Chains A and B, each alone.
Chain A
Amino acid sequence: MNVIVEREKGPLQELETRIVTLRERGSGASGDVALLEEKYRELLGDLFGNLTPWERVHMARHPKRPLAGDYIAAFDSFDELHGDRHFRDDHALVGGFAKIRGRRVVVLAQRKGRDTKENIHRNFGMVSPEGYRKAKRLMELASRFRLPIVSFVDTSGADPGIASEEHAQSEAIASCLVALAKATVPVVATIIGEGGSGGALAIALADTVIMAENAVYSVASPEGCAAILWGDSARAPEAAERLRLTSADLLGFGIVDRVIKEPLGGAHRNAAGFVEIVLDTIEDELRALEGKTPAALRDARYAKFRRIGTWEHAVQPHVVTAVP
């Protein structure tokens, strides 16, 4: 059950229906429509103006939320490239050449499905080692062709199945991280929905990390975290508070560079408009990175992550001891 979907039912839905009905009646009711719209906006503000972290988790998982497929559909062009060259093509992670606002880029995107059938096809957006190996291949291709890497992050986490372990999920994720560390081209990652731990980071070790306001990015899912810490996944709302997984938190930590504000009530309330804003922002960030030399890009990337969790260095020579 999605708490946001539940909240959208009732009075809000009633108002929506009434506004639509009045509009259909034509011009005679325009005064009433304006009044109801005013009321509607107020109600939206009451319901969604001040979301808790747990509510944002549900916003990020909202069934109508724009998915990677919606962003891809808004590109100037997209030519998908398939497969890891070894075993299979993973549909949870798609990639290929794209043009965004006229710019040639390599795109990597974690794709959830819109319905059950598509979700089964896409493994609910949980990427397997084959998907990460495809991503790694395309990251290297991007450097060779001097094309920026643009990634879209939306996964509850890397696939935790038996086959994934047998195919070395750890190594696959690690090899993506290394490929991004090596990349000689700009890397811009956008957290559009769920940023689930290492499986998300695998395509987000980026020069610029953009995050949608109601997206979440977390070291562990709130449910998993609650199960481990309290042995009770029902305490997930509390875990969501503690984990500091919202865009505002992560901007504060310097883990995210830029947050894109969503329409009141969530990105899905104006999905097409929101997608355009995200693409504009990506273009903007690509422009800011353009013209930097490979060495400058790599140095800046190193420094950016190097800073996260740093201590004052001791000036004194290190104490020399035998093993205690």
Chain B
Amino acid sequence: MPMPDWLRLLREKDVPAEDAALWKKCPSCGEMLYRKDLEANLSVCTKCNYHFRMHAYDRINSLVDADFVEIGNEFLPGDPLEWTDKRPYVQKLEADREKSNLSEAIVTGFATLEGFPVALGVMDFNFRGGTMGTVVGERVTHLLEEARRRKLPCIIFTASGGARMEEGMLALMQMAKTTLAVERFMSDGNPFFTVLTDPTTGGVSASFAFESDIIIAEARASIGFAGRRVIEQTIRQKLPDNFQTAEFLLEKGHVDLVVPRIDLRGTLIRLLDYAVDRKRISPVLKAVPEFALQ
């Protein structure tokens, strides 16, 4: 749809602070984007195709047919190490809850995609940088166990700065815990897909993100093991711009597909259609939310 003139004129002007709620500036091309347009376009810049990071619930909304049945939200973060740095960990958690409207860095549950019942996990960078602490590990493990029990495919969207420092070694051990759950889930023949979104690094990248049957990278996402800064400090030189991008990983053969956000739902449905025999899905499972309560 062509942009109306009044809108084009508006966008070319500087936007006063009080309009910040209505407008968002694209950090890539500098274009002022009308928030409603941006949301309608799944938080992708309408001018340069820059992918903004997406809220977990917006992401879920962009994928599922209708309802989403959330599970695992009874697992809430504590403060096992009684951690303080600049601020106490409990304060950081509180601030992130406020800021993100989430109880932890992942939302897990059940939904259908074009009628395919799936277990779905979506990480959110807005909560502690998407880091994996004990609750993220527990929710991922719980999701895989519940999916296994129901013989459902599982799809997890990752966005993570790695293991959560404020929970120390208890956080690192979630790499082991989730791996064991993935292995058990996949050994039964259940399909496991991961979608790596911006950014996916460290302990998440080096565990369940790269353990799946099919690894999809969202277009332009930054994905790697070590953080870019760590590598630059180690080698004492600047890295090329495309280093650790989804496109770079595709070229190196690390991921199956790079998919723009707008095509993700369609791609997942096509892949599910190969991985799952539609005729063999039990009618009970097709009915969300009822199947979640079994």
**In the complex, what distance in Å separates the CA atom of A173 from the CA atom of B172?**
13
Residue A197 interfacial (CB < 8 Å): yes
B179 within 8 Å of A by Cβ? yes
Query: How far apart sit A253 and B80, CA to CA, in the bound complex (Å)?
Result: 10
Is B207 part of the contact surface with A, judged by Cβ < 8 Å? yes
Nearest-neighbour CB distance to chain B for A245, whole angstroms, equals 7
Chain B residues within an 8 Å CB radius of A230: 85-86
Are B170 and A255 within 8 A (Cβ)?
Answer: yes
Q: Is B43 an interface residue (CB 8 A)?
A: no
Q: Which of the four size classes fits the interface of chain B?
A: 35 or more
Mostly helix, strand, loop or mixed at chain B's interface? helix
Question: Taking CB as reference atom, which chain A residue is nearest B139?
Answer: A311
- Residues of B with C-beta under 8 A to A217: 169
| Chain A contact residue count (CB 8 A cutoff) | 59
Complex CA gap A114/B226 in Å reads 26
Q: Does A26 contact B (CB under 8 A)?
A: no
User: Is B168's CB within 8 Å of the partner chain A?
Assistant: yes
Assembled-state Cα–Cα distance A218/B133 (Å): 14
Which chain B residues in 234-282 approach chain A with CB under 8 Å?
234-235, 239, 243-244, 252, 254
Q: How far is the CA of A317 from the CA of B146 in the complex (A)?
A: 13
Task: Tell me if A174 counts as interface (CB < 8 A to partner B).
Answer: yes
B180 touches A245 (CB 8 A): no
Residues of A contacting B164 in the complex (Cβ-Cβ under 8 angstroms): 219
- Asked if A173 meets B177 with Cβ closer than 8 Å, knowing A165-B225, A242-B81, A321-B68, the reply is no
Q: Does B211 contact A (CB under 8 A)?
A: yes
Check if A174 sits within 8 Å of B292, measured CB to CB: no
State the CA gap A220–B169 with chains docked (Å).
9
Q: Is the CB of A173 within 8 A of B292?
A: no
Of A168, A242, A321, which one neighbours B254 at CB under 8 angstroms? A168
Q: How far is the CA of A19 from the CA of B226 in the complex (A)?
A: 49
User: A322 — which chain B residues lie within 8 A by C-beta?
Assistant: 66-68
CB distance from A170 to the nearest CB of B (A): 4
Lowest 5 CB-CB distances: which A-B pairs, in order? A309-B134, A160-B226, A314-B74, A169-B225, A181-B183
